[in-house]
Every structure is written in C-alpha cells, then in structure tokens.
Structure 1
Amino acid sequence: MLKDLEFQNLYKQYFSQVCRHLNYLLGGDCQAAEEIAQETFVKLYTSPPLTRDNLSAWLIRVATNLAYNHLKSSRQRAARENRAVLAGSGIQPHGLPEETYIRNQQVLAVKEVLDLLSDRDRICLLLKFSGFSYAEIAEIAGVQPNSVGTVLARAQARFKKEFLLRNRGDI
C-alpha cells in the first residue's frame, strides 16, 4: 500500500487527467466519471502497480477498464454517449438551424461508426486523437508497442470504410 502523503501527491497530480479521460469515454457523464476516477484511485491505494514507471498509463488503463465495465452494465449508454458527443462538438446554439442540424448529423454519424468498432480499435483511435503517445496507447490498450501503428492504421481503415458505407451522400 502507498503511504498517505505519497498517495495524496499522486492524487493531486493525476486526478484531473483521469477525470477528463473518463468524462470523454463516458459521454460527458461527470458524476460517473468522478465516481470511476475515485474507484481508480482506490485501486491505486490498495493495489498499486509493481513499478511507478508510466503510472499515468496504468491509471488510464485501470480507469478505462472500469469505464467499460460501467458502460456494459448500463442500459443508458446510447443516450449518454449521444449527449456527450453533442456537448463536446462545439456546436453553438446560436448558429443557424440548418448549420446546427448538419453538425449534429455529422457528429452522430461519427459516433455511430465509432460504436461499430471493436473496443480496442475505438480506444486506440480515441487515445490517438486525444494526443497520447504510441507508448501510452500500447500500455492503455494492452497492445504491443511495436504494433500500435499497425493497429491504428487498420482501425482508421475500418472506420473510413464503415463511415463511407453508412454515409454515402448523407453528409
């Protein structure tokens, strides 16, 4: 177990990063994100990793796994994710109704295609576009570091194929 002072310092250092990641994964459900972040830090306190090397990636992976467990058990997943996508899209309510409608449709189309991908493909793409390094993506997603580029390329190809199939001329 960690010493209290050491744990407090780690909590202060990483809590907001873990919350932001969870908030994104959980579709803007701030309350669930904070609860799962707390659970992540309980795991850190009671069962810390053997080494402190790349603790950030360890925390993100634990938080991601807990978030997926939460989503799988929740019947409200689709509604929550759609709210988050719309909230995070930057759509301004004061735009023209046609522009707002088109943006909403684009965001929903992307979200629907992301939902079709495997958990690994979806999380790798989301992490890449959130600015994580290949090493961090490898650790969080549980893939070999030297295969992250291949996994991402294939995930992008699957995303593009599905997006084009589902949205021919719609957007």
Structure 2
Amino acid sequence: MKIPESNPFRSIFYEHYPIVRRKLVALVRDDAAADDLAQDVFLKLYRNPPDDPAAVGAWLHRVLTRVGYDYMDKLARERRLQNKQELYFEGDVLLQSGEEALLRKMDQEEVREWLDTLPERDRQVLLLRYSGYSYAEIAHELNVRPPVVGTLISRATEKLRQSAVKTMSPSEIKS
C-alpha cells in the first residue's frame, strides 16, 4: 500500500481512531497520553502504511500495543531515575549529623582559602577539572592546546598542595 490519499486515510482514521484511543487509555491509564499516543500511531500509519490494506486493523493494534508499551517503559525508567536521585540526595542529607555537616563546611572553606592563594589560571583549571569538565573542554575554556591541560592540572595541584601544607600545623600534616 502506498502513502494513502487524504480521503481514504481520513475514512480509516475516523473508523479506527476511537478504538485505538480506547485501547491506549486502557493500556496506559492516562487520557492525555492516550490522545498523544493515538496521534503517533496514525502518524506511523500515514508515513509507513501496511502492504495489505485489509490488514489495517491488525496493523493498528500491533503498533498501538508497541507504542503503549514503549511509553510505559519510558515512564518506568523516568521513575527509577527519579527514585535514585531522591535516594541519593535524601540519603546524603539524612546520613550527615550536624557535626559532620559542620566539618564538611569547614573543610570546604579551608579549600576555598587555599584556592584563593593560587594564580587565577591555576584556580580555574582545578575548578573546571573537579566540576567534571573534560580535558578538551578545559582547553577550550582556557584557550590552550589540549595536550597542555594535563600539565596545567598537575602543576596547579602541586601548588594547591604546597599552599595547604603552609597553612597546616605540624600535627595536621602527620595525620
């Protein structure tokens, strides 16, 4: 079957749309989603009709089932991702005592002070690297060649370590 002409396609649409939509509502249990999915099914029919025009009903049923299951799989993946994110963020907050949160904040402030002693370029390279940027992205941000980034990070890390050692007491350095 070739791409349907508007009148035959229109008659197929009016005949089968209520059935397709009703089956999708029963499958996904969401009226608005079923409307969108039914449109997708008929768009697929318009773009890629079955070879046998007599098999349109079976073809629509097979496609609507696949589209409905794909939609439900997508929702399940999104729910799992959201649950993981909620557990991660809630777990991080719940597991910290007030003392642990205070110590973490003090450590962050101390690292910021050490970073402030570094030259601007070294501070930037470390912040970009530990913010998850790739070497190529860091090279682009700092307007340097990518092979130089590793050296810049290494040198900046060593300067940061030296800055930390200068401000620490001898008892802190041993532990």
Q: TM-score range by the shorter chain?
A: 0.3 to 0.5
Higher relative contact order (CA 8 A, sep 6+): 1
The structure in which a higher percent of residues are helix is: 2
Looking at CA atoms only, which structure, 1 or 2, has the larger radius of gyration? 2
TM-score by length of 1: 0.43
Q: TM-score, normalised by structure 2?
A: 0.42
